[in-house]
Amino acid sequence: QKEVEQNSGPLSVPEGAIASLNCTYSDRGSQSFFWYRQYSGKSPELIMSIYSNGDKEDGRFTAQLNKASQYVSLLIRDSQPSDSATYLCAVPRPSSGSARQLTFGSGTQLTVLP
């Protein structure tokens, strides 16, 4: 089992819809979780971090964490064409301590159709 798994997509949603991106992780001891956005040919950019069970909202983005199910998701409300990108879920490696050497999923490619 891979340490971090994501549906590779591609995922297409119409403009204005909610895009739902999912991620599961294998290390039950993981305490922090990150969502990165990567535009084609560009570097990853951190958009959300979450540390506690439940929801965390930031503008149009909501991260949801369920540690019992080892599941973290990202919801994008009122999706815009500019949200079209690959979304990467990342979890610190078990051995990384406070330094957060990250393990990434393979990413979900999102396309928002105008």
Partner 1 sequence: GAGVSQSPRYKVAKRGQDVALRCDPISGHVSLFWYQQALGQGPEFLTYFQNEAQLDKSGLPSDRFFAERPEGSVSTLKIQRTQQEDSAVYLCASSLGSGDEQYFGPGTRLTVT
Residues found near partner 1 in the complex (CB under 8 A): 4, 42-46, 49, 88, 90, 93, 95-107
Q: Supply the minimum distance, in Å, between the C-beta of residue 31 and partner 1.
A: 11
Cα torsion at 57, 17, 112, 33 (round to 10°)? 30
Q: Supply the minimum distance, in Å, between the C-beta of residue 78 and partner 1.
A: 25
Please give the DSSP secondary-structure letter assigned to residue 94: T
Which lies closer to partner 1 via its Cβ, residue 43 or residue 82? 43
Distance between first and last Cα of the chain: 37
Which lies closer to partner 1 via its Cβ, residue 67 or residue 93? 93
Q: 54: alpha, beta or left, given left = phi > 0 and alpha = psi -120 to 50?
A: left
Which lies closer to partner 1 via its Cβ, residue 17 or residue 22? 22
Backbone angles phi, psi at 50, to 5 degrees: -145, 140
* Rg over CA atoms, the chain: 14
Which lies closer to partner 1 via its Cβ, residue 23 or residue 112? 23
Q: Supply the minimum distance, in Å, between the C-beta of residue 52 and partner 1.
A: 16
Q: Supply the minimum distance, in Å, between the C-beta of residue 100 and partner 1.
A: 6
